[in-house]
Structure 1
Amino acid sequence: MTEYQNILVDEPIEKVRRITLNRPQKRNALSNALRSELFAALEATDRDDGISVVILRGAGPCFSAGYDLASDTRQDQPFYTAGGLGNWPRHVVEGGFRIWDLAKPVIAQVHGHCLAGGSELAASCDLVYVAEDAKIGYPAVRSISPPDNQFYPWVMGMRRAMELMLTGDAMSGSEAAAYGFANRSFPADMLEAGVLDMAARVAKIPSDLQQINKRSVHRQMEAMGMRQGIRAGTEMQALAMATETTKAFIAQVQGQGLNTALTNRDSTFGDGRTAATPTK
């Protein structure tokens, strides 16, 4: 099996491959190096006749806190996306649909923080199971932009999506399941067993039929405009990058460091790094 630097790959039960984001010291921040390995592993698995289902999870205390803002996302992207304005959000969306278009079902196993790009990654999966105490949201709306991959209205509906977009607040895993982001929530110590049980059930159906079952749901969402709508959302993200607020935040990151900038961002909300009981 291929050696990776930023992910772990194992097969916990028959016909199931598990990919673990493995940058726990960085809260599994989604660098392009990690994303390159992730897409390579997903595509290799999709070609493997011995595997029927993929589980995607994070090592350490969380699933993923989002994209690696300390890196230059324009460099070493895992696949080609046309350059120019909006390159990054279009690249993110193309990555999400690469997962969407795989033949094998992909299950997200979410614990701890699942924020910003982490939530975009989880939402690109076919099934999402979360720990009840997970924290899921898109806090970047407070300082940078709406999502690159604006899936929230599609899976949660307008009102709940709007509340998250206008506050940057996170929802718990229990709320995420109730709102439609996730299929189901589990107590944290039961999450892995619950996901493996579901993966085993999904793997019982042969892959030649299962890929059609998966696409039958996707085609209905696409008929309602989901693919076009999410792609159109990349233009909103690119436009937000030109606002004075975003330019000031980026300057603060460059001048004072990411931790200081995020602490300042969340200070008036009392969450994130400024919560009374730190959660990350």
Structure 2
Amino acid sequence: MSLQYLLYEEEEKIGFISLNRPEKRNALSRALLEELTALLLKIGQEKKVKVVVLKGIGKIFSAGHDLKEIADGSPQDVLEIFQTCFLTMRAIREIPQPIIAQVHGIATAAGCQLVAAADLAVAAEDAQFATPGVKIGLFCTTPAVFLSRNIGRKKAMEMLLTGEFMSAQDALIYGLVNKVVPSSELEAATKELASKIARYSLSAIGVGKKAFYQQINMEDFQALNYATEVVSLNTTTADAQEGIMAFLEKREPRWSDN
């Protein structure tokens, strides 16, 4: 597919998506979000890669929504922008491949939402995160959804109510990111994490990703009942049967998607 606001490449079963509006601080315009959603769905359907890295070109990861687009739009236009972002978030959640956010510079507002919505995140040690909408009278209500599902309520509300930056180290402590590394090691560390995941069966990864998010807000034994059904069905797949036999025969498994 032709891309105007993104770059995309594939390497060793890893897909690399780059937000490519450095002159606009990788602002998430409606057109960029539409392009990102379409690309994610294509990746999910084609299944050529097993994991996706999402990063930004230029000095920062993303400054969030394009405020000029919001300021110039009618109420209906603005609603459609946020509905477009909703579809992007849903694509991140619903494709079988895990999404790893590779964060440098800053990730603010909807940029922070992208990090929080990703399945995993690796940050440079000088990266910063914020939901500063309160400072301009536009509370970061939509970023709050995924932010509050990553970090504790009190810390989420502190970020939302003050608009102040959270450091990469605090983001690690509070659970917004998985790993913090020196800036010079960010790309290599993210690729290393992606490569670990890419060794496994996409069939199993996809089942696991879907089940994880389905069960997470269920009551304990409702979740366990659901997980029991999922894992039982998972055992009937070709990759599960191959993996079990490979373990018993003390050899490397040969996945169907390799």
TM-score of the superposed pair, with normalisation by structure 1:
0.72
Shift of 1:132: 1.2
Aligned residues: 215
Partner of 2:38: 40
Q: For 1:217 and 1:73, how far apart are their aligned partners in 2? A: 38
Residue type matched to 1:156 in 2? I
Instruction: Please tell me whether the aligned partners of residues 139 and 160 of structure 2 are also in contact (alpha carbons under 8 angstroms).
Output: no
Residue type matched to 2:181 in 1? F
2:216 is paired with a residue whose SS is helix
Is 1:145 aligned to residue 143 of structure 2? no
Partner of 2:5: 6
Q: For 1:85 and 1:133, how far apart are their aligned partners in 2? A: 33
Match of 2:209 among 210, 214, 217: 214
Is 1:107 aligned to residue 100 of structure 2? yes
Alpha carbons of 1:215 and 1:203: their partners in 2 closer, same or farther (altered >3 Å)? Answer: same
Q: Deviations over 1:153-211 (max 9, x none)?
A: 22111121121122100111121111111111111111110000010100111111110
Match of 2:51 among 50, 53, 62: 53
Q: For 1:84 and 1:222, how far apart are their aligned partners in 2? A: 33
Partner of 2:154: 159
Alpha carbons of 1:92 and 1:6: their partners in 2 closer, same or farther (altered >3 Å)? Answer: closer
1:71 is paired with a residue whose SS is helix
Shift of 1:94: 3.9
Instruction: Please tell me whether the aligned partners of residues 138 and 147 of structure 1 are also in contact (alpha carbons under 8 angstroms).
Output: no
Residue type matched to 2:19 in 1? L
Instruction: Please tell me whether the aligned partners of residues 90 and 148 of structure 1 are also in contact (alpha carbons under 8 angstroms).
Output: no
Q: For 1:34 and 1:52, how far apart are their aligned partners in 2? A: 23
Match of 1:186 among 181, 186, 193: 181
Which segments of 5 or more consecutive residues in structure 1 lack a partner in the other structure? 76-82, 225-280
Shift of 1:5: 1.2
Shift of 1:74: 9.5
Partner of 1:276: none
Q: For 1:19 and 1:182, how far apart are their aligned partners in 2? A: 18
Instruction: Please tell me whether the aligned partners of residues 109 and 140 of structure 2 are also in contact (alpha carbons under 8 angstroms).
Output: no
Q: Deviations over 1:37-78 (max 9, x none)?
A: 111111111122321111100000011011011114897xxx
Residue type matched to 2:140 in 1? P
Shift of 1:88: 5.0
Q: For 2:82 and 2:2, how far apart are their aligned partners in 1? A: 29
Is 1:27 aligned to residue 21 of structure 2? no
Shift of 1:223: 2.3
Q: For 1:68 and 1:10, how far apart are their aligned partners in 2? A: 25
Residue type matched to 1:65 in 2? A
Equivalent residues in 2 for 1:112-261, closer than 5 Å: 112-143=105-136, 144-149=138-143, 150-223=145-218
2:63 is paired with a residue whose SS is coil
Instruction: Please tell me whether the aligned partners of residues 113 and 136 of structure 1 are also in contact (alpha carbons under 8 angstroms).
Output: yes
Instruction: Please tell me whether the aligned partners of residues 132 and 140 of structure 2 are also in contact (alpha carbons under 8 angstroms).
Output: no
2:59 is paired with a residue whose SS is coil
1:114 is paired with a residue whose SS is strand
Alpha carbons of 1:93 and 1:33: their partners in 2 closer, same or farther (altered >3 Å)? Answer: closer
Instruction: Please tell me whether the aligned partners of residues 30 and 84 of structure 2 are also in contact (alpha carbons under 8 angstroms).
Output: no
Match of 2:86 among 93, 110, 114: 93
Which segments of 5 or more consecutive residues in structure 2 lack a partner in the other structure? 220-258
Instruction: Please tell me whether the aligned partners of residues 70 and 78 of structure 2 are also in contact (alpha carbons under 8 angstroms).
Output: no
Instruction: Please tell me whether the aligned partners of residues 33 and 85 of structure 2 are also in contact (alpha carbons under 8 angstroms).
Output: no
Alpha carbons of 1:55 and 1:135: their partners in 2 closer, same or farther (altered >3 Å)? Answer: same
Instruction: Please tell me whether the aligned partners of residues 34 and 84 of structure 2 are also in contact (alpha carbons under 8 angstroms).
Output: no
Shift of 1:148: 1.5
